[in-house]
Amino acid sequence: MPLRIGDEAPDFTAQTTEGTIKFHEWIGNGWAILFSHPKDFTPVCTTELGYMAGLKPEFDKRQCKIIGLSVDPVSDHEKWAKDIQETQGHAPNYPLIGDSDLQVAKLYDMIHPNASGEAKGRTAQDNATVRSVFVVGPDKKIKLMLTYPMSTGRNFDEVLRVLDSMQLTAKHKVATPVNWKQGQDVIILASVPEEEAKQKFPGGWKAPKPYLRIVPQPK
């Protein structure tokens, strides 16, 4: 069954490079990012996993855990980590799921539910659709889904930007405009009545149109 934003993230138990985890239990009370790649020892994914390792302190500041996945055994992940360290300057400092039986890939609709076999013998092209990013909130609901083609490296700075937006808008009745970055002006939700807006934003706002009420980012 296809997943959509707002659905509960499927729970699972899996082997990782940091031991066995139960996904919802592992997330705890914070946020989480699950990102997948089609095959270990592939060039684009090598750059991605290294970059994500360098960016991890920023996600830590936001109480957001990171976990990677591919349909390869954990033993392959551990060997690949040495190449990532050598070529990217950072080895993965977050768990990597060994989804060699395709269980999680199927649960998250990243691969056809009738796909058969295990990791051995499957090529990166067989797993081309296993290049997704899922952001999961503290309520275990899916907040964001992205799927990239194999030839295009993912922009994890954008994932961090979106996380900032989602955490802000979960706390305040605002939305973030195009290309918004932390600290910039935001928009009062159209669903907020004028009187309530005056209470929540006593400093007032700019309104080039009645439905477009712009305020400084709330603290």
52 to 56, 62, 64, 146: CA distances (angstroms): 6, 15, 13, 16
Let me know how long the chain is: 219
Beta carbons of 159 and 24 less than 8 angstroms apart: no
Start and end residues for every CATH 3.30.1020.10 domain found in the chain: 172-215
Angstrom distance (rounded) from CA 157 to CA 128: 23
In eight-state DSSP terms, residue 197 is: H
User: Is 172-215 CATH 3.40.50.280?
Assistant: no
Helix 74-88 and helix 43-61, axial crossing angle in degrees, nearest 10: 80
pLDDT for the residue 168: 98
Of 9, 14, 27, 45, catalytic: 45
pLDDT in the model for residue 111: 80
Measured CA to CA, the distance from residue 125 to residue 17 in angstroms comes to: 24
Looking at domain 13-154, what is its CATH homologous superfamily?
A: Glutaredoxin (3.40.30.10)
Q: What values do phi and psi take at 199, rounded to 5?
A: -75, -40
pLDDT of residue 130: 77
The residue ranges of the chain whose pLDDT is under 50 are none
| Beta carbons of 217 and 184 less than 8 angstroms apart | yes
Q: Locate CATH 3.40.30.10 in the chain.
A: 13-154
Question: Any catalytic annotation for residue 64?
Answer: no
Phi-psi region of 102 (alpha: psi -120 to 50; beta: other; left: phi over 0): left
